[in-house]
Structure 1
Amino acid sequence: MFELQTSWWELPLRASIIYVALLVMVRLSGRRTVGQFTPFDLLVVMLLSESVSSSLNGGEDSIIGGLLAAATLITLNLLIAFLTSRSARLQQLIEGESVLIGRDGKILSGALKKYRIPVSDVEEALREADCDQTDMRFAFLEADGQISILKESSANFYQTKR
């Protein structure tokens, strides 16, 4: 139960490889994977977890092995958070940046198609911002998958503050 069946260094190595590979895959899959989850997105995340579990532990069934793999994943996550908080370039590479999806009351359909965002999500963000589409100055798809709306009045406020 407490005795490792594999070399101690193999589990952190496996965990690191899986962590980096999933980070790249999720980053490449787009903002919807990390933003607002639909039931289908949640299913994909759950299946991802299941699909890599045997690769992560390499058949290791001991408690120590599981804790070692978990500690490695948490450490990698903290390391990435630390590095991205200190480097804007790394943060942009890993997390992405905001994308303009609407301007001056017009929704940019090409941007919505490119990032696979339904118009209904933009309409929902407009309602949450208590903003008519005609009052929208800018709409952004944020790096975390959320949609931000700037009203015409708030855009004027920011311009006068400069």
Structure 2
Amino acid sequence: MNPYLEIILRSAAVYFFMVLALRFFGKKELSQLNTADVILVLLISNSVQNAMVGSNTSLLGGLLAAFALFLMSFVLKKIMFKSQIINDFIQERPEILIHSGKIEFKTLARLGITSEELEEAMREHGVQYYKEVKLAMLEVDGNISIISGDNDLKQTHHKRRIHKTLS
């Protein structure tokens, strides 16, 4: 087999393995990675490098592997845009955290969101009490969106992050 075609096929296999692994092991977004997760990603990248390029350590081999990864990412995004089934499989869905002032405790527990994190997001949206919240959602990008009955509230942006004492 052509060594450059082999690099492309190996890179594609590693790419799809990583997409599935991240999907099944549950990180919604890279913005939610803590220090241990970043170290894991760095170690994984080092461990799969040889699986992609094999014994070829040339500049062309490395560039070809990187090109194959960019191409796979581009193709996957196009497929996800055209196929709702694949999009639903790969992409997470938004989650309801509060509905009509009622907290969804099971959802919060399943997602690992503390009441302190939820209260912080509410404060950032200018909401003091749970009862004032019409809808609070954990969006697919890791943001917590809050809609209240107050028409004077400003739009704010809350990015969920793991508190340093929890990592």
- TM-score under structure 1 normalisation? 0.79
Q: How far off is 1:14 after superposition?
A: 0.9
For 1:122-133, list aligned pairs within 5 A.
122-132=118-128, 133=130
1:120-145 superposed Cα distances (whole Å, 9 cap, x missing partner)? 33223222222223321111122222
Matched, 1:46 2:46: no
**Which of 51, 75, 78 lines up with 1:79 in the alignment?**
75
More deviation in 61-70 or 24-33?
24-33
**Which of 84, 90, 101 lines up with 2:86 in the alignment?**
90
**Which protein has the bigger helix share?**
1
How many residues are paired up?
A: 149
The CA RMSD over aligned residues, in Å, is: 2.1
Structure 1 residues 126 and 43, CA gap change in structure 2 (3 angstroms): farther
Structure 1: gaps of 5 or more residues: 1-5, 155-162
Matched, 1:141 2:138: yes
More deviation in 18-27 or 119-128?
119-128
Divergent runs of 4+, >6 A: none
Structure 1 residues 123 and 69, CA gap change in structure 2 (3 angstroms): same
**Which of 2, 5, 14 lines up with 1:9 in the alignment?**
5
Look up the SS of the partner of 2:56 in the other structure. Answer: coil
Distance 1:149 1:41 in 2: 28
Structure 1 residues 17 and 35, CA gap change in structure 2 (3 angstroms): same
